[in-house]
Amino acid sequence: KLVFALSSPRTCDVVIRIPRLTVYYRALRLPVPIPVGHHAKENVLQTPTWNIFAEAPKLIMDSIQGECKVAQDQITTFNGVDLASALPENCYNVLAQDCSPEMKFMVLMRNSKESPNHKDINVKLGEYDIDMYYSADAFKMKINNLEVSEEHLPYKSFNYPTVEIKKKGNGVSLSASEYGIDSLDYDGLTFKFRPTIWMKGKTCGICGHNDDESEKELQMPDGSVAKDQMRFIHSWILPAESCSEGCNLKHTLVKLEKAIATDGAKAKCYSVQPVLRCAKGCSPVKTVEVSTGFHCLPSDVSLDLPEGQIRLEKSEDFSEKVEAHTACSCETSPCAA
């Protein structure tokens, strides 16, 4: 007789019974965690009856697949790292995207303009551009800019690959397995995203790489690792495609304002990576401090920074906290120009 019993999501006990001999193995380490509810009655030790052979495949698949969750002001990445989701106002952030050459999907999120407690979601899948949001406390959805009411759910695309959207609780659930999305659940306040198993290790964005490794969990689009969570989240802001989107922030290289001396001579220092700043004609109304690296040059050396340059190909001399803008006020509409 062979009996398995989970002692924790990462370990199990094994009992092997043969005539005249019983062998016990305690706390054998499993290659992957197996999430399972604890059903034993309090203070009562029960004989393990869980059928590991029947349940293990599903539990292992669920553990390997990974899930990214957003609730209130917290984001939990695929690898289980919790991030404070202090998102800049009116700008979409890349939650997750297919970072393979196929680029099958992109999932974007921003704080709702109308209700700060709600989130707006935009999903790009091939020829589909899907917006999910709340307006006047009512769920709204647009597919390729055409509104689809809840009364018309469930929705299933006519073309292949298939995209399906159905009601789930107070929100909706989207699935598009051929695009790499197993499920995407959204109710305005919370968001859960599960990529398909074959997308393992192929994603990037705030939700991470889904590779069971947290060493590079704060990896930015340029491949470097951010010095703090805020810097990481800011790096995944998607620049506005048009002036009407309301995102008045942009990534820009900044000059350190305080005086610096190197080898006894005055120097001027520039960030080697971009910092969020308000667009031209706008001023900040909300700011945060972020850590960024700087490279210094002699004060008499000129440095030409072309418009739109977001990376300084220089070594980092030191790190300093600087002000990053997260909300802006504009005297005139950016579209007026």
Domain boundary assignment for the chain = 2-63, 66-235, 248-336
Compute the average pLDDT of residues 164-180.
93
Within 8 A by CB and 6+ apart from 319, the residues are 227, 291, 292, 293, 294
| Residue 45 confidence (pLDDT) | 44
Closest C-alpha among 79, 166, 165, 70 to residue 123: 165
- C-beta separation of 203 from 67 below 8 A: no
Residue 125 has pLDDT above 70, yes or no: yes
Q: How confident is the model at residue 108 (pLDDT cuts 50, 70, 90)?
A: very high
Least confident of 42-46, 151-155, 196-200, 214-218: 42-46
Q: How far is it, in rounded angstroms, from Cα 192 to Cα 159?
A: 25
Compute the average pLDDT of residues 136-151.
89
Phi/psi-derived region of residue 312, left when phi > 0, alpha when psi is between -120 and 50, beta in every other case: beta
Q: What percent of the chain has pLDDT over 70?
A: 81
Residue 4 has pLDDT above 80, yes or no: no
| Residue 56 confidence (pLDDT) | 53
Q: How confident is the model at residue 58 (pLDDT cuts 50, 70, 90)?
A: low
Q: In angstroms, what CA-CA distances link 312 with 135, 253, 256, 293, 316?
A: 41, 8, 14, 10, 10
Residue 49 has pLDDT above 50, yes or no: no
Give kind and range of the element (H or E) at residue 63.
helix 52-65
Q: How far is it, in rounded angstroms, from Cα 276 to Cα 287?
A: 9
| Residue 42 confidence (pLDDT) | 43
- CA geometry: angle at 168 spanning 167 and 171, to 5°? 80
| Residue 106 confidence (pLDDT) | 96
| Residue 317 confidence (pLDDT) | 82
| Residue 245 confidence (pLDDT) | 63
Q: Select the highest-mean-pLDDT range: 183-197, 206-220, 260-274, 302-316.
A: 183-197
Residue 39 has pLDDT above 60, yes or no: no
Q: In angstroms, what CA-CA distances link 73 with 189, 194, 228?
A: 10, 20, 17
Q: How far is it, in rounded angstroms, from Cα 29 to Cα 40?
A: 22
Q: How far is it, in rounded angstroms, from Cα 120 to Cα 91?
A: 10
Within 8 A by CB and 6+ apart from 157, the residues are 128, 163, 164
**Higher-scoring residue by pLDDT: 84, 34:** 84
Q: Is the dihedral of CA 105, 110, 112, 118 positive or negative?
A: positive
What is the residue-averaged pLDDT of the chain?
81
Neighbours of 140 (CB within 10 A): 16
